[in-house]
Amino acid sequence: MSRIVERIDSLFNPQSIAFIGASKKPGKWGFIIFLHLLMSSYNGKVYPVNPNEKEVLGVPSYPSLDDIPYDVDLAYVTIPQDKVIDIMQECIKKGVKAVILIAAGFGEIAEENKELEKEIASIAERGNLVVMGPNCNGIVSASCGLCALMPAFFPKKGHIAVVSQSGNIGNSILVRGMEHNIGFSRYISSGNESHLCSEDYIEYYGEDDETKVITAYIEGIKDGRKFFEVAKRVTKKKPIILLKGGTTAFGASAAKSHTGSMAGSAEVFASMCRQAGIIGVNNLDEMFDIASSFLCQPLPKGNNVGIVTGGGGWGVVVSDACAREGLNLPDLEPETISALDQILPSWWNKGNPIDTVAGQNRAAFIDAMEILIKSDYIDSAIGLGIGFSAMTGDAYSTSKFRSQFKELDMPGHSASQDLKTAEKIIKLKNEYKKPILLATDAAVMAKSHEHSVFKMYEDEGIIVFPTPDRATRVLAKLTHYKNYLQDS
Amino acid sequence: MSRIVERIDSLFNPQSIAFIGASKKPGKWGFIIFLHLLMSSYNGKVYPVNPNEKEVLGVPSYPSLDDIPYDVDLAYVTIPQDKVIDIMQECIKKGVKAVILIAAGFGEIAEENKELEKEIASIAERGNLVVMGPNCNGIVSASCGLCALMPAFFPKKGHIAVVSQSGNIGNSILVRGMEHNIGFSRYISSGNESHLCSEDYIEYYGEDDETKVITAYIEGIKDGRKFFEVAKRVTKKKPIILLKGGTTAFGASAAKSHTGSMAGSAEVFASMCRQAGIIGVNNLDEMFDIASSFLCQPLPKGNNVGIVTGGGGWGVVVSDACAREGLNLPDLEPETISALDQILPSWWNKGNPIDTVAGQNRAAFIDAMEILIKSDYIDSAIGLGIGFSAMTGDAYSTSKFRSQFKELDMPGHSASQDLKTAEKIIKLKNEYKKPILLATDAAVMAKSHEHSVFKMYEDEGIIVFPTPDRATRVLAKLTHYKNYLQDS
């Protein structure tokens, strides 16, 4: 481990935490975040510090850091800005290794406060401790069960790491994980980055066995050369997915008052990202779509995509999306066509996308997918229109015709057929080690998330996307990343 | 009414329907779609036609169209391609005014079959009837309760009209309406458009009082001049939101085998759309986001957007989105700033977006929105980060700390605060007649749709978007459409 990575480890794996500013008053951050820390499954010791209380939320409290008769690895600080320098001095005296500063009111509100931030950094370096923040939202570290954020979010343990210069954007990433039951290894709301910067956390994530994918929200970078040097090294090992805030004049102005960041040229930044193998995204949904897919999908060997669709229009739309994203739709080879002739009606389109012809025989969907995915010239696949039973089940069950027919559903639109499809698609993806991305209207319907078919995909970590272009965009990023790894 | 609009009315308001090919065999389209017709609330007469059955699904059946002793306005035809010409001749003899041809197997599978399509058109003109299809998925017409599609979809009555050259893309639009409880006036899966073309339906929708917004999915246009002439007239009265399939080489090739469409230059098409005031979209979610917002939001008077955000990062991201979409974020005027000084902490950012400072006082969100929306120089607003209680409620209710505190929630993050916010935002939108678009992470979570806060927005027809850029894109389209109306 490099020096900074070792030092940052005290932030992610502290044996003990002093919570300076822990409070009994609902509404105070010192109450809310401390409560969330206690609600989390943190496996170390916790010491609230508050000169006016004997206990906070049932935990014995100390008048000052110095009064704690045990070692303290991490100090979580929720007291206001004007006391932060004093507290940092106390932390050094106590031998604290890492400090989290929640309070706002630094360089983001006045130019002169940037001096205060510089002082924080220089005290940190003199005292050999690391500082996260200020103006931040908290930390998650799954390895020790630590989760202490402003909102009551308790994401499950997993392999996505987050570093965000915005607490609420960081939370937006967590929300998407919680929605899809996909877990996180680490989460850092890095705030104003007075001391530790995004690239430091990214360097740590690069060496972190718990982390397989890194997501980052960045408004500004203090040391561009260092950032991209770190990123270039890390992207050789694991993907970095980055959303840049402040790429326009309006956005840059908002960023200045948010984290005090000065955004540089958006074009230069985007070009540096490409060179460093960083995957740039346009919004939060896209970020999570891609991050989660890196966890559950094999990387494609090349640009050749095969498509199976339950409807022609979706096939057209996904073909457009593939073209726009730089993916290739090869013509089907003669042996693929003759194999498909065996399972599809004679008038099938004999092209790629393969249209399984409007649901007349939905079992053909899986057979077509298998024929496609086992073909040498196909590197990846997109399947459109699965999970139909999730959409129509209710209509039939409440119909007066229900009692008259045992099999009212359209053939192959039954839940059991959808389950068979899910099982087979997961099997094919794993057996042939090729990514299979899925999109369907069924994913639009909130209730379908509760549906057993979606549960099966979710257990495999697969998000079924609501539109073909979302699935295609993800596949393109997987493909481009694989190309980057091969070329570098 | 123009001649074609009058003739099309028999399709949307038939007094009686003959269903030619109605079947007792589950799995046949003649069974499935006929069943769905019976399941719908169609208020006219229904006559199944099948030479081998005395009744179908409990409805007395006739051996042939000619055997029906009553007038027939609309013939719904599910029998195969090779019998279609004969059936059409029978329809003319019977005095049928409109025919729906479901069967595929025409111009989309072989060039020579295009002659068959031409014959359909010429028989239709000679017999003074209109033909929808072939190769289509069915029709919905809320005014007479008619709903007979391949899937068991029964959208509620409303004001969005759909014309789609793809059945499954048309269905994708319906699914989004069903998910958000937003209704439809008409739905046409226009298929290969042998006779009636997209522009004919659009002309009808233009004069249709039930229809307030038109959505269209187009792969190819037979008569471009006519299409854009019709569109230009209609967009003066109501918006047309259009998704174009086949804008790339891959997409165009897929479209050819889907509906037999020959796509022209994508650039020329896009430019013609802009001139005709058509709102082009990139995907299905965007289409429905915009369509539904035209129904519930006033049109903004100009490009000036005010933003209220519960978090700085979202403010940055939405500012970037506004800049990209050509919207303007004016600086706040002195009186706005002094009004906001009264309700926000002293260190608030004094800019647009207005950051209400990380949830410390969530009631300030509504007050800030009111100050903003009543300002003359603000034409529209975006609110970010509402509905927080929908995300965190569960965590607290299951915590062991629940019993210790009456008010465990963060101040203003309670469900009652979220309800107050919803009520006030709806009131402000209606009172000041300015659009207020909303985005929040809470909308990502499937369960939140069941949440009472979202129910309140939904009852007003408002979709709360999962990302700031989706809200911004919608606002941009509302703004550009208003500018188009003013300039033309």
Q: Which DSSP string do the residues of B141-204 spell out, in sequence order?
A: EGGGTEEEESS---PPEEEEEEEESSHHHHHHHHHHHHHHT--EEEEEE-TT-SSS-HHHHHHH
- The most distant pair of C-alpha atoms in chain B lies apart, rounded to whole Å, by 83
Q: Are A254 and B351 a contacting pair at CB < 8 A?
A: yes
Task: State how far the Cα of B340 lies from the Cα of B346, in Å rounded to an integer.
Answer: 10
Edge-to-edge strand order for the sheet containing B354-355?
B354-355, B305-309, B380-384, B436-439
The arithmetic mean of pLDDT across residues B187-201, rounded, is 97
Average pLDDT over residues B309-329: 95
DSSP result, A5-61: HHHHHHHHS-SEEEEET--SSTTSHHHHHHHHHHHTT--SEEEEE-TT-SEETTEE-
- Residue among B306, B5, B176 nearest A441 (CA): B176
Compute the distance between CA of residue A424 and CA of residue B472 in angstroms, rounded to an integer: 40
Residue A399: its chain B contacts at CB < 8 A? 39
> A329: which chain B residues are within 8 Å (Cβ-Cβ)?
250
**Distance between CA atoms of residues B247 and B473, nearest Å:** 21
Closest to A14 (Cα-Cα) out of A95, A90, A72, A57: A72
Q: What is the pLDDT of residue A413?
A: 59
Q: Whole-angstrom Cα distance, residue A277 to residue A234?
A: 9
Residue A82, both tokens: 């004007």
Q: Name the residue among A254, A285, A445 with its Cβ closest to that of B466.
A: A285
Q: Which of A263-272, A423-432, B323-332, B335-344 has the lowest mean pLDDT?
A: A263-272
ipTM computed for the complex: 0.94
B319:A217 CB<8 A:
no
Run of H or E residues at B47: strand B45-49
Which residues are CB-neighbours of A335 under 8 A, at least 6 positions away? none
For A340, residues 6+ apart whose C-beta sits below 8 A from its C-beta are A332, A348, A350, A354, A368, A371
B410 to A150: CB separation less than 8 angstroms, yes or no: yes
Pairwise CB contact (< 8 Å): B247 & A314? no
Point out the least confidently predicted range of A197-206, A227-236, B4-13, B391-400: B391-400
Q: For chain B, first and last CA: distance in Å?
A: 23
Q: Tell me the pLDDT of chain A averaged across its residues.
A: 92
Residue of B nearest to A403 (CA): B57
| Residue A450: Cβ within 10 Å count | 12
Q: Structure pTM?
A: 0.95
Contact criterion met (CB < 8 Å) for B168 and A312? yes
User: pLDDT confidence of B172, banded at 50, 70, 90?
Assistant: very high
Q: Report the alpha-carbon distance of residue A380 to residue A437 in Å, rounded.
A: 8
Token pair in block for residue B409: 């929630």
Per-residue model confidence as pLDDT tens digits over B286-312 = 999 999 999 999 999 999 999 999 888
Q: How far is CA B418 from the centre of its chain?
A: 28
Phi, psi of A354, deg, nearest 5: -85, 115
CA distance A240 to chain B (A): 19
At position B50, the amino acid (one-letter code) is: N
β-pairing verdict for B74-77 and B59-60: unpaired
A157 vs B159: CA distance, rounded Å: 45
What is the signed CA dihedral for A67, A71, A76, A80, rounded to 10 degrees?
30
What is the pLDDT at residue B391? 74
B26 vs chain A: nearest CA distance in angstroms?
6
Q: 3-class DSSP state for residue B420?
A: helix
Average pLDDT over residues B106-113: 80
Integer CA distances (angstroms), A74 to A10, A117, B315, B376, in order: 7, 19, 31, 51
Q: What is the pLDDT of residues B57-86, one digit of tens each?
A: 999 999 999 999 999 999 999 998 899 999
Q: Is the pLDDT of residue B165 over 70?
A: yes
Give yes or no for residue A377 having a pLDDT over 60: yes
Q: Cite the DSSP H helix spans in A374-432.
A: 389-397, 415-432
Query: For A206, what's the count of Cα atoms within 13 Å in the CB-facing half-sphere?
Result: 23
CB atoms within 10 A of CB A262: 12
Distance from CA of B127 to the nearest CA of A (A): 30
Inter-helix orientation angle A452-459/A415-432, to 10°: 10
| Cα–Cα distance for residue pair A6/B336, rounded to 1 Å | 49
Q: Calculate helix-pair angle for A3-12, A198-207, nearest 10 degrees.
A: 90
**Dihedral (Cα; B100, B104, B108, B114), 10-degree rounding:** -60
Q: Do B257 and A282 touch (CB under 8 A)?
A: no
Of the two residues A312 and B90, the one the predictor is more confident about is: B90
Q: How confident is the model at residue A106 (pLDDT cuts 50, 70, 90)?
A: confident
Is the pLDDT confidence value at A97 over 70?
A: yes
A361 confidence band (pLDDT: 50, 70, 90): low
pLDDT-above-90 percentage for chain B? 76
List CB contacts (< 8 A) between A32 and chain B.
410
Torsion A187-A192-A193-A198 (CA) sign: positive
Mean pLDDT of A53-65: 97
Nearest Cα of chain A lies from the Cα of B382 at a distance, in angstroms, of: 15
Distance from CA of residue A320 to its chain's centroid? 27
Question: Using an 8 Å Cβ cutoff, are B355 and B368 in contact?
Answer: no
Structure tokens at A425: 């698609």
Q: Are A366 and A425 contacting, i.e. CB atoms less than 8 angstroms apart?
A: yes
Beta strands at A16-20 and A74-77: parallel, antiparallel or unpaired: parallel
**Lowest mean pLDDT segment, chosen from A167-176, B56-65, B440-449:** B440-449
Q: Can you list the positions of beta strands (E) in A248-304?
A: 279-281
Inter-residue long-range contacts of A269-274, CB under 8 Å, 24+ positions, other chains counted:
A269/A244, A270/A244, A272/A224, A272/A228, A273/A231, A273/A242, A273/A244
In contact, A131 and A284? CB cutoff 8 Å: no
Whether the per-residue pLDDT at A319 is higher than 50: the answer is yes
Q: What is the pLDDT of residue B27?
A: 79
Q: Which residue of B has its CA nearest to A469?
A: B283
- Cα distance from A252 to chain B (closest Cα, Å)? 7
Instruction: Indicate whether A362 pLDDT > 80.
Output: no
What percent of chain A clears pLDDT 90, i.e. is strictly above it? 76
CA atoms within 13 A on the CB side of A124: 26
Probe site for chain A from B250, B322, B465 (most A CB atoms < 10 A): B250
Give the mean model confidence (pLDDT) for residues B115-127. Answer: 93
Peptide bond just before A353 cis, omega within 30 deg: yes
**Pairwise CB contact (< 8 Å): A399 & B320:** no
B126 — pLDDT class (breaks 50, 70, 90): very high
Does the distance separating the beta carbons of A411 and B355 come in below 8 Å? no
Q: Average pLDDT of A418-426? A: 91
Predicted pLDDT of residue B198: 98
Cβ distance B362 to B288 under 8 Å? no
- Nearest residue to A40 via CA among A165, A141, A163: A141
Average the pLDDT over A21-41 and give the result.
93
pLDDT at B317 over 70: yes
Q: Which among A311, A244, A303, A254 has a CA at the least distance from the CA of A279? A: A244
Chain B residues within an 8 Å CB radius of A316: 166, 219, 245-246, 251, 254-255, 258
Which of the residue ranges A202-206, A246-250, B98-102, B264-268 would you say has the lowest mean pLDDT? Answer: B264-268
Asked whether the beta carbons of B433 and B264 are under 8 A apart, the reply is no
Residue to substitute from A317, A464, A470, interface B, most B β-carbons within 10 A:
A317
**What are the phi and psi torsion angles at B363 (to 5°)?**
-60, -30
Residue of A nearest to B258 (CA): A312
Q: Confirm if B93 and B64 have CB atoms less than 8 A apart.
A: no
Residue A459, token pair as written in the block: 């257990």
| First vs last C-alpha separation in chain A | 23
B342, B346, B352, B353: CA torsion to nearest 10: -100
Residue spans of alpha helices (H) in B209-305: 224-235, 249-259, 266-275, 284-296
Of all residues in chain A, the percent with pLDDT exceeding 70 is: 93
DSSP B9-44: HHHHS-SEEEEET--SSTTSHHHHHHHHHHHTT--S
Q: Are strands A354-355 and A380-384 parallel, antiparallel or unpaired?
A: unpaired
How buried is B237 (Cβ within 10 angstroms: 0-12 exposed, 13-18 middle, 19+ buried)? middle
Categorize the per-residue pLDDT at B398 as very low, low, confident or very high, splitting at 50, 70 and 90.
Answer: confident
* DSSP states along A149-187: ESS---PPEEEEEEEESSHHHHHHHHHHHHHHT--EEEE
The pLDDT value given to residue B376:
98
Sequence-distant (6+) residues with CB within 8 A of B327 are: B303, B305, B472, B475, B476, B479
Q: What's the mean pLDDT in A316-339?
A: 97
Across chain B, mean pLDDT equals 92
Q: Worst-scoring range by mean pLDDT, B28-42, B89-103, B193-207, B254-268?
A: B254-268
> How far is B36 from chain A, CA to nearest CA, in Å?
10
Q: How many CB pairs under 8 A join A and B?
A: 283
B166 vs A38, A164, A311: nearest CB: A311
Average pLDDT over residues B172-183: 94
